[in-house]
Amino acid sequence: MARPRILLVNPPIYDFAAYDFWLKPYGLLSVAGQLRGQADFVLFDFLDRRHPSLWQAGRSDSDRWGRGRFRSERVAKPACLNAIPRYFQRFGVPRDRFAAFLGGGGGFDFVLIQTMMSYWYPGVREVIEDVRRACPGARIVLGGNYVTICSAHAEGLGTDLCVVGTDLDPLWRFLEAEPNAGQVGLWEMYDRPAVGALKLSDGCPFHCTYCSVPRVYRGFRPRSLEQSLAELELLVSLGVRDVAFYDDALLFDADAILTPFLEEVVRRRILVHFHTPNALNARFIQADLARLMVRAGFQTFYLGFESHSPQWQQGTGGKVHSDELAQAVRHLVTAGANPSAITAYQIVGHPNSDLQELEASMRFVHGLGIRGMLADFSPIPGTPDGDACRRWVDLDEPLMHNKTAFPIFRLGFDEVNRLKDLQRRLNRAL
């Protein structure tokens, strides 16, 4: 019996802004890895900035840590977002390149499409339309955050299967496959990747009132040390030197999970640069862990802070407090981290935020000698804080979850710009 041909697709992004912040389709590659040797896989990653159709010899579009801008083109703005005074764009490989690829691809039995932000679904819809046109016999599967958070909406896109949450048994039955959960992600699908991603755990033990993770994952589950190290060594063997952790709670139970991993990285002399685009919980950064992180190769540190207000901190889950952030920064700097590589996230546009408290938070972060970054609030349905936003927007339309748009709906365009200008001035003054 012939092995099935399976196309893996990471769709383009339709949004006001997008930036390659070590963005890779980790879930898609992990699923394919569990079926390693059981199917013939082909990957089309619209967000691969090194894609052959975009690459020009001798030209690099990445910064020193592998981040960079996506190819983009202006497109018509959805009617529900017409009030937002910014250009709307499509980010990623041009649509006609995908059409040409499908035309010469020889057909596929299955097409697996990863979804991310709920308001990025126009890119998913585009891929489905093109696959249906070029490969009418292919069976299409959607999985990821959008499918889980907006399952009814996703089912309306005309797919054959929507995989909700992290239970993959429906997928394995649909594919008639026997997965090997011990296999690592299928990173070989990339030709000399510059950037990789890694997870030591799934889910998060905390329940922040604005976060989608508790809806996507049921609890917190660490991966085995052996599997994590095997995936890292695969990435290194492919030439990857910058690795982003995708964990939602990387530092939780560090003595049992992160510390043994980093000790092995040091012992095996694995030379990589580690990055943390997902917010780290500063509460867990003690002196010994900070030293180990720096020694093992951590280069950028993004810390979750959200607000300087004790009342706001407690009301949203009490994950981290101001004194804990200050202590974490001291430990990291003492351990040898460059203060310019340490950034604290703060939320703008939260339904319960106070502008004076937000400005105080920004100045507090500046006083620590580190950079601040305003994280635009996205109202995620099914979360307490997201559902509170129905007074401003129609959450049944995923486009209204857009993180650029909602703070403007909530605070006004001029106020949002004023806050972001203030953040830029504070960062420049460091």
Domains identified in the chain and CATH numbers: 5-175 (3.40.50), 192-428 (3.20.20.70)
- pLDDT score for 57: 44
Burial environment of residue 104 by CB neighbours within 10 A (0 to 12, 13 to 18, 19 or more): exposed
Decide: 223 and 202 in contact? Cβ < 8 Å: yes
Q: What is the largest CA-CA distance in the chain?
A: 66
DSSP 8-33: EEE--EEES---BSS---HHHHHHHH
Count how many Cα atoms sit within 13 Å of the Cα of residue 123 in the half-sphere of its side chain: 28
Q: CB neighbours of 131 closer than 8 A, spacing ≥ 6? A: 7, 9, 102, 111, 138, 140
Helix axes 95-103, 121-134, angle to 10 degrees: 30
Tokens describing residue 76: 């018509």
The amino acid at 329: V
Please report which helix (H) or strand (E) contains residue 366, including its range.
Answer: helix 355-367
Residue 206 DSSP label: -
> Rounded CA gap, 184 and 34, in Å?
7
Phi-psi region of 290 (alpha: psi -120 to 50; beta: other; left: phi over 0): alpha
Tokens of 245: 């952790």
| Count of C-beta atoms within a 10 Å radius of residue 106 | 9
Q: What is the pLDDT of residue 413?
A: 96
What is the spatial distance between Cα 290 and Cα 333, in angstroms, rounded to a whole number? 9
- Local structure of residue 344 (DSSP, 8 states): E
Residue 179 CB burial class (10 angstroms; 0-12, 13-18, ≥19): middle
Q: Which tokens in the block code for residue 344?
A: 């604290």
Average pLDDT per 10 consecutive residues for the chain, totaling 430 residues: 91 97 96 96 95 64 90 97 97 95 89 97 98 96 96 96 94 96 95 93 89 85 96 97 96 97 98 96 96 98 81 60 92 97 94 88 96 95 92 96 96 96 96
pLDDT at 213: 86
pLDDT score at 320 = 75
Q: State the pLDDT at residue 308.
A: 66
Encoded tokens for 352: 């319960």
Q: How far apart are the C-alpha atoms of 142 and 148, rounded to whole Å?
A: 10
Specify the pLDDT at position 58: 44
pTM: 0.94
